[in-house]
């Protein structure tokens, strides 16, 4: 069997044979491509070979000429042109830009460099691309283009569906593609029949797979007259000159230049065309802060709906290998629900699903029956013109004019609720999600007062909010009138703006009304953002009853009424003198940062994608440790491309809070400079540590000027956006300091993270930390998270984590990788302004509306009950995607159990007045409001419920049952083990001397392996054998790993025949490892066995850990750990146990391992009993008998009964059925041996699902063996279902489960769940047995330490399953495996000293070695070839057996070489002849030029050469 061993450099399995890499070849019968490029300098591009194109007789390629002129340029390939040669086809990716504007500037700089040093090729296509912030800007950019534009075409194409879009598209929420100008166009006429797309393929090269052509079917466009007409069967396509392509994770800004060898199609012409497109694009772009309504912006173009034409887009992937012809199924069509709009000229443009023609764009007074109605309509209309269309309406009489005007306006979206408090919090949530204020309309009186909690939250956390409160007229104030209170300045300093309008009258100019709205909106949306309050008194009539009013009050509004623009436009500007005034302070900050030696980047709440992007770029630039708060969005980041070399640029410290539980860590982790981006930090422990150990400089950056400094430690307060600050610092250079402190901190965090993960995963019960953990992983890039206060946000902050998420588009993954920003932040929100528990559900629902994403909301039961009126809002699915609401129901306020009050207060008082314990049925509340409800009590049920809810089209509430006392106990356990892990990690790290080469123990010089064959005394009990055979053998490989100082260690890879490994397959993997491991540094964390080996295998060797055979992984770990022990002059157990030298008592009492004898129960009961008695006389205290080998279980019963009678009650007896019995047979056996006092029966039933049932029915203790052998990934998840106390032991074979690290993980789970962890051998040699002895001692010491932390008594000493040594008739080692009989107890055991002596002093027994392997050399030679009109010399690498019938040829990718395949070739060279070639134009291969011949190289030529 051959296992796919995945390597990060090529990610191809062992069995990969002849492969044509997608980026090297483009197959087509009509033309051939073989273009490889070499970049000589940043501004010079040198073609390496040729691309030959055959032209179609019915197609032409047109480049857009000078767009400022009245017509497009008409340089194109005519029907009679001969074959053209495209020599340059390059995609140049620039470093990411902090803003879109900066991206434009960088592209312009790159083009300017090209102008000074143009390409030497006569024709080509060049794409310059740069990653920019992922927030939606494309529609806004399109709508900002002027009516009198001279650059066409212009288009916007949406990437989203209309499923949840119940109103016209929003400029700052809809992702898509914006394009302007045309680098090249393609026209197909109806008479086109050949299907030859080579002209288009020329530009859509796989070398630049992101280049996309957009266009329309059934359209004929005349470039000279700028006219367009419909014609069935026609096609018009173009590649944009400038393009913004938006994805969920990243946005790509690109410019494309195409040129040919004709004067009309020159490189200079392409540059001129680009500059005109660039000028218009960058001079007609306004930021999203411009809130003008998008419908007005789009309507100015005079676009019309077109149902005949369909927009399409094509790229290299859609053309690759396909001849589209007229087959519409092969075209990537923009489906009918999608939206697009395009302009071909100032007068020609059309759209699809972008405009609502039923909605009037101008204001009319015809429906205003009275002055109240007029003023209310003016107010609503001006809000709409400012882009604010979301209204939250509370029922009331006095607010009737406002409610009617809002609900009847054609462009508004309205939601209603009978509870003003819930309604106001809903508006706050909308503001959080959309970054635009919602407008709340209420009646007078206490309805206004109910808004106060939400106003406070919005004010404290800078959320924009607008309040329209109806009021009684002045004559009814202070007169006892109904529902009349003083509403003037009702919210005091919590609002940014207050204005009380006069009672509507035509004596006052209506201009005052609209300018008041403009002023209020500006105040609410300007820094510092917050609530604005407009009080609106009305006299009767409140309804829309006719009441004469004078039109003269509208004087000055004529232009306003005929347009769609707001009356007053507030313009944000940042003056140069302000920048200059802060320059000195910024320079001071830069100097502080440059001088930092222990800097930390603390990231608080982030609100926009642009802020997240800027923070990531700054983090990459500084390379400081990053402590990200849960509300930053980076705490739950998703990994877009999984490459260590990219991830190493970011040092995330996700569990700093729990690391600080260690007093030693708090002292050690002091930083000298801290930069905090964003506001509040959730972790109290982090804040307390900063206050205890005040840094030399604390720099806080925030857009507002409020003092967020509760510890009073901030030394520099910078009022700036995150983006502006990042831009300043990105321009500065900071000396790279190889900070061992940073590496230490990262390593320590990793160890604490693994400990937390282990504790959460190993707990069988559903815990609140697990809820936070699994919910955070359930949030995708396309969704968002809202967290409630109290324990919900604390659990999310402490235990939330991101998960790997790969983009579906390989090209985008490549771009993400090249941009160096491999993470995507998740939008996370919470009410942390005042941190109350009121209104959380309503806020979450509003947040879902505002962000237009699927939202998962996590909150506690008391918070939920505090806002059950929010359920009324949940039913109003207005402009919102489905929500999943998780309520952790522990029947009270659990947070008080963590406070000192809990220990000092009577439980009855605590329960009633603090916990506010309750038995309210959340299910019944959901039923009453028609909300789907699911209740979960287990981890599996929670995962299932989350999965179901994410696929639902309706809202869903998941109620998670919890318990305050259990929650408190589990949190306490987590803190204890996290603190212990932090202490142990710090001790381990402090004992290591870190060299300049990095955080490593030592360097591996080389590795060899030897195939051995040893004779056994009898057949292994796990194998089938020929009963006539008298000789039995065991085969495997001994690994010898050498370190640079000469130290070495042995490992063993010896697969059992009953498992899914074979010797040839194992040897293939060993050959591969032999090559990649040479010269590798061993991480200092490897001996901790807590995920560190897996991490090192991926990061150090570039191999996916799960792709390594279990026996190979075990042998590799053995060899490395034994070599490290030899280098340090210590025992293996001391290498594994970092506390060994400090825990003398443990070391003194745990220095030997007892062994359980193994007995095959063939023979009569008396014979087996006699053998067992002999073993007892030798000193064995535990015996395992193999059962289920006989036809009748009762025969095994007789054997067990006789053995028990013979050896007495003090000897531990174990039975091993190896899963051979049916359930009924096992039950029959079990019931009969109840009185035999078995320590356990191992794997009694065939079916894994019957194990627990067997325990319950028989009452017999059970051990697992084969069940865990099948575990490959996530062992804790599988083991969790076996936490039943009837399972008393876990038998662990390291070579079968996949190494010592996984064995240690399984053992630790067993020990924490009160089960025995028994190390068992699989009939390996003395090298493995000695290693297992040391490993077993380590596990026993670990168990004692675990019991100490958990305040549990240590159980009796466990005898481990190493009795297979008695099967060895000879051994691979020259020294025998030594056992001894304890002089005091008389028991058989193995000491540390004896096992260590064998590992260090023994040599290989050459009599048992069949062959050795230390590597194989590659044979290099030149292969000259002259084929037709093409000649070259190919550099060839060859290795392996000389076998003409079994040859594997490896072809490298674009800009690669034959060197890329060497590890794979060496791995499989034992079974095949391997050949790799430097393709022409690559590596050392040479192309020979013939002056009289025109070279023509194609994929067909290469195929014939290789054949």
Which residues carry out catalysis?
1184, 1293
Q: What is the largest CA-CA distance in the chain?
A: 119
Which parts of 320-366 fold into alpha helices (H)? none
Query: Residue 198, Cα to own-chain centre: how many angstroms?
Result: 39
DSSP annotation of 504 reads P
Among the listed residues 750, 463, 467, the one whose alpha carbon sits nearest the alpha carbon of residue 631: 463
Burial of 1131 (0-12, 13-18, 19+ CB in 10 A): buried
- C-alpha 747/C-alpha 778 separation (Å) is 26
How far from 740 is each of 675, 696, 982, 1090, CA to CA, in Å? 20, 20, 17, 21
Residue carrying the six token digits 């806020």: 843
- C-alpha 542/C-alpha 556 separation (Å) is 26
- C-alpha 978/C-alpha 655 separation (Å) is 9
The encoded tokens of residue 1349 equal 């932390």
Residue carrying the six token digits 């107010």: 379
Helix (H) or strand (E) holding 559: helix 558-562
The encoded tokens of residue 654 equal 């996700």
- C-alpha 977/C-alpha 936 separation (Å) is 27
Contact of 283 with 134, CB cutoff 8 Å: no
Q: How would you label 217-243 residue by residue, b for 16+ Cβ within 10 Å and e otherwise?
A: bbbbbebeebebeeeeebbbbbbbbbb
How far from 1107 is each of 1089, 1111, 1271, 1312, CA to CA, in Å? 19, 12, 13, 29
End-to-end Cα spacing for the chain: 29
- C-alpha 437/C-alpha 390 separation (Å) is 8
Among the listed residues 961, 805, 798, 785, the one whose alpha carbon sits nearest the alpha carbon of residue 884: 785
Q: Which residues contact 1440 (CB under 8 A, 6 or more apart)?
A: 1465, 1468, 1469, 1470, 1471, 1472, 1473, 1474
- C-alpha 539/C-alpha 34 separation (Å) is 81
The encoded tokens of residue 841 equal 């559900």
Axis-axis angle for helices 1193-1207, 1165-1178 (nearest 10): 40
- C-alpha 929/C-alpha 927 separation (Å) is 5
How far from 891 is each of 884, 887, 959, 964, 982, CA to CA, in Å? 20, 11, 11, 8, 33
- C-alpha 37/C-alpha 845 separation (Å) is 53
The encoded tokens of residue 146 equal 């002027």
Backbone dihedral angles phi then psi of residue 683, each to the nearest 5 degrees: -70, 120
- C-alpha 821/C-alpha 826 separation (Å) is 14
Contact of 1002 with 1127, CB cutoff 8 Å: yes
Pairing of strands 1430-1440, 1486-1488: antiparallel
Residue carrying the six token digits 């013939």: 1490
Q: How many helices (H) and strands (E) does the chain have?
A: 49, 58
Q: Which residues contact 502 (CB under 8 A, 6 or more apart)?
A: 508, 537
Rounded to the nearest 10 degrees, how much is the dihedral formed by the CA atoms of 1131, 1137, 1138, 1143?
Answer: -100
């Amino acid at each position: 069997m051959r296992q796919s061993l995945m390597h990060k450099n090529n990610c191809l399995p062992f069995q990969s044979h002849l492969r044509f890499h997608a980026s090297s070849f483009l197959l087509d019968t009509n033309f051939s491509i073989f273009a490889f490029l070499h970049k000589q300098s940043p501004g010079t591009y040198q073609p390496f070979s040729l691309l030959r194109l055959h032209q179609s007789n019915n197609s032409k390629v047109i480049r857009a000429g000078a767009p400022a002129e009245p017509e497009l340029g008409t340089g194109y390939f005519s029907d009679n042109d001969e074959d053209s040669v495209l020599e340059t086809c390059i995609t140049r990716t620039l470093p990411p830009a902090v803003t879109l504007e900066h991206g434009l500037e960088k592209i312009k700089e790159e083009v300017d460099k090209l102008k000074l040093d143009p390409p030497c090729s006569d024709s080509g296509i060049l794409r310059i691309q740069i990653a920019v912030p992922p927030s939606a800007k494309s529609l806004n950019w399109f709508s900002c283009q002027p009516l009198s534009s001279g650059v066409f075409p212009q288009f916007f194409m949406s990437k989203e569906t209309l499923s949840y879009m119940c109103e016209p598209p929003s400029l700052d929420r809809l992702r898509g593609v914006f394009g302007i100008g045309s680098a090249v166009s393609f026209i197909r006429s109806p008479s086109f029949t050949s299907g030859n797309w080579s002209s288009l393929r020329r530009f859509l090269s796989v070398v630049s797979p992101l280049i996309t052509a957009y266009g329309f079917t059934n359209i004929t466009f005349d470039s000279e007259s700028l006219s367009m007409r419909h014609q069935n069967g026609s096609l018009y396509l173009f590649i944009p000159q400038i393009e913004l392509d938006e994805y969920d994770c990243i946005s790509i800004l690109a410019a494309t230049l195409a040129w040919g060898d004709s004067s009309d199609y020159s490189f200079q012409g392409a540059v001129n065309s680009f500059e005109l497109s660039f000028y218009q694009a960058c001079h007609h772009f306004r930021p999203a802060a411009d809130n003008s309504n998008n419908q007005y912006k789009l309507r100015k173009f005079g676009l019309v709906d077109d149902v005949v034409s369909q927009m399409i887009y094509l790229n290299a992937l859609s053309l690759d290998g396909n001849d589209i012809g007229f087959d519409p199924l092969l075209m990537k069509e923009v489906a009918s629900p999608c939206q697009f709009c395009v302009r071909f000229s100032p007068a020609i443009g059309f759209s699809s699903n972008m405009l609502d023609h039923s909605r009037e764009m101008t204001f009319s007074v015809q429906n205003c029956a009275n002055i109240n109605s007029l003023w209310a309509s003016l107010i609503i209309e001006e809000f709409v013109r400012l882009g604010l269309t979301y209204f939250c309406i509370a029922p009331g009489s006095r607010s009737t004019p406002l409610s009617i005007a809002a609900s009847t306006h054609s462009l508004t979206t309205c939601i209603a609720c009978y509870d003003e408090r819930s309604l106001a919090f809903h508006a706050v949530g909308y503001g959080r999600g959309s970054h635009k204020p919602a407008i709340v309309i209420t009646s007078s009186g206490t309805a206004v007062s109910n808004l106060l909690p939400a106003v406070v939250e919005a004010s404290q956390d800078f959320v924009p909010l607008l309040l329209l409160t109806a009021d009684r007229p002045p004559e009814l104030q202070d007169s006892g009138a109904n529902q009349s209170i003083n509403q003037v300045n009702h919210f005091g300093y919590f609002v940014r703006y207050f204005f009380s309008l006069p009672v509507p009258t035509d004596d006052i100019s209506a201009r005052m009304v609209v300018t008041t709205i403009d002023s209020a909106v500006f105040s609410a949306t300007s820094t510092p953002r917050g609530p604005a309050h407009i009080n609106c008194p009305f006299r009767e009539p409140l309804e829309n009853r006719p009441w004469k009013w004078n039109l003269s009050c509208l004087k000055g509004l004529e232009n306003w009424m005929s347009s769609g623009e707001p009356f007053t436009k507030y313009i944000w500007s940042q003056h140069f003198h302000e920048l200059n005034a802060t320059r000195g302070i910024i320079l001071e900050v830069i100097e502080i940062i440059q001088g930092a030696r222990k800097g930390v980047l603390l990231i608080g709440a982030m609100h926009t994608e642009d802020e997240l992007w800027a923070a990531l770029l700054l983090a990459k630039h500084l390379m400081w440790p990053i402590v990200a708060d849960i509300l930053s969005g980076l705490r739950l980041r998703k990994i877009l491309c999984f490459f260590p070399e990219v991830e190493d640029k970011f040092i995330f410290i996700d569990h700093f809070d729990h690391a600080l539980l260690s007093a030693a860590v708090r002292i050690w982790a002091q930083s000298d400079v801290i930069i905090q981006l964003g506001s509040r930090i959730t972790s109290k422990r982090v804040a307390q540590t900063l206050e205890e150990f005040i840094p030399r400089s604390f720099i806080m950056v925030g857009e507002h000027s409020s003092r967020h400094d509760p510890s009073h430690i901030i030394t520099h307060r910078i009022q700036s956006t995150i983006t502006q600050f990042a831009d300043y610092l990105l321009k500065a250079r900071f000396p790279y300091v190889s900070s061992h402190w940073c590496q230490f901190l990262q390593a320590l965090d990793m160890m604490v993270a693994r400990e937390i993960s282990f504790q959460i995963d190993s707990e069988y019960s559903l815990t609140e930390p697990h809820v936070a953990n699994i919910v955070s992983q359930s949030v995708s890039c396309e969704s968002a998270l809202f967290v409630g206060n109290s324990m919900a946000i604390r659990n999310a902050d402490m235990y939330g984590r991101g998960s790997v998420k790969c983009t579906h588009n390989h090209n985008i993954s490549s771009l993400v990788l090249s941009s160096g920003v491999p993470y995507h932040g998740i939008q996370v929100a919470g009410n942390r302004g005042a941190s109350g528990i009121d209104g959380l559900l309503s806020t979450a629902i509003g947040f879902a509306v505002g962000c237009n994403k699927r939202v998962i909301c996590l909150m506690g039961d008391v918070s939920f009950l505090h806002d059950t009126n929010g359920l009324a809002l949940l039913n109003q699915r207005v402009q919102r995607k489905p929500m999943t609401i998780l309520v952790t129901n522990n029947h009270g306020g659990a947070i008080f159990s963590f406070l000192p009050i809990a220990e000092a207060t009577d439980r009855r008082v605590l329960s009633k007045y603090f916990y506010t314990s309750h038995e309210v049925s959340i299910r019944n509340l959901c039923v009453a409001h028609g909300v789907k409800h699911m209740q979960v009590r287990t981890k599996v049920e929670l995962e299932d419920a989350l999965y179901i809810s994410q696929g639902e089209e309706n809202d869903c509430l998941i109620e998670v049952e919890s318990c305050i006392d259990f929650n408190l106990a589990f949190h306490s356990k987590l803190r204890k083990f996290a603190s212990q892990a932090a202490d142990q990690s710090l001790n381990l790290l402090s004992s290591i001397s870190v060299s300049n080469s990095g955080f490593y123990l030592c360097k591996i010089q080389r590795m060899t392996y030897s195939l051995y064959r040893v004779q056994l005394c009898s057949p292994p009990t796990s194998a089938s054998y020929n009963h006539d055979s008298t000789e039995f053998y065991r085969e495997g490989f001994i690994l010898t790993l050498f370190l640079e100082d000469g130290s070495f260690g042995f490992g063993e890879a010896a697969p059992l025949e009953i498992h899914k490994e074979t010797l040839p397959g194992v040897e293939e993997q060993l050959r591969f490892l032999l090559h990649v491991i040479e010269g590798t540094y061993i991480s200092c964390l490897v001996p901790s066995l807590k995920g560190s080996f897996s991490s090192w295998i991926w990061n150090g060797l570039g191999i996916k850990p799960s792709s390594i055979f279990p026996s190979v992984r075990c042998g590799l770990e053995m060899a490395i750990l034994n070599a490290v022990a030899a280098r340090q002059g210590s025992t293996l157990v001391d290498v594994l146990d970092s506390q060994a030298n400090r825990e003398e008592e443990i070391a003194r009492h745990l220095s030997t391992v007892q062994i359980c004898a193994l007995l095959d129960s063939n023979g009569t009961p008396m014979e087996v009993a006699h053998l067992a008695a002999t073993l007892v006389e030798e000193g064995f205290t535990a015996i395992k008998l193999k059962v289920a080998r006989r036809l009748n279980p009762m025969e095994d019963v007789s054997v067990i009964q006789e053995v028990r009678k013979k050896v007495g009650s003090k000897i531990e007896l174990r039975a091993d059925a190896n899963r051979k019995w049916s359930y009924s047979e096992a039950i029959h056996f079990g019931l009969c041996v109840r009185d035999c006092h078995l320590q356990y029966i191992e794997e009694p039933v065939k079916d894994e699902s019957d194990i627990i049932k067997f325990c319950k029915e028989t009452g017999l203790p059970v051990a697992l063996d084969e069940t865990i052998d099948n575990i490959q990934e996530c062992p804790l998840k599988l083991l969790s279902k076996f936490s039943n106390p009837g399972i008393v032991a876990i038998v662990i074979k390291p070579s079968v489960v996949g190494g010592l690290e996984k064995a240690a993980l399984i053992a630790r789970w067993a020990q924490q769940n009160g089960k025995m962890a028994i190390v068992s051998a699989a009939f390996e040699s003395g090298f493995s047995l000695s290693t297992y002895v040391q490993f077993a001692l380590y596990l026993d010491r670990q168990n004692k330490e675990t019991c100490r932390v958990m305040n549990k008594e240590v159980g009796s000493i466990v005898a481990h399953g190493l009795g297979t040594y008695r099967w060895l008739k000879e051994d691979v080692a020259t020294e025998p495996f030594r056992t001894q009989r304890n002089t005091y107890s008389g028991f058989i055991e193995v000491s540390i000293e004896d096992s260590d002596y064998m590992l260090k002093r023994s040599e290989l027994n050459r009599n048992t070695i069949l062959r050795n392997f230390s590597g194989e050399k590659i044979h290099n030679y030149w292969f000259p070839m002259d084929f037709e009109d093409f000649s070259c010399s190919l550099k060839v690498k060859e290795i392996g057996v000389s076998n003409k019938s079994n040859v594997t040829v490896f072809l490298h990718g674009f800009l690669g070489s034959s060197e890329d395949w060497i590890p794979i070739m060496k791995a499989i060279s034992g079974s095949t002849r391997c050949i790799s070639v430097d393709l022409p134009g690559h590596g050392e291969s040479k192309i020979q030029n013939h002056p009289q011949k025109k070279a023509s190289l194609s994929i067909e030529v290469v195929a014939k050469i290789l054949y």
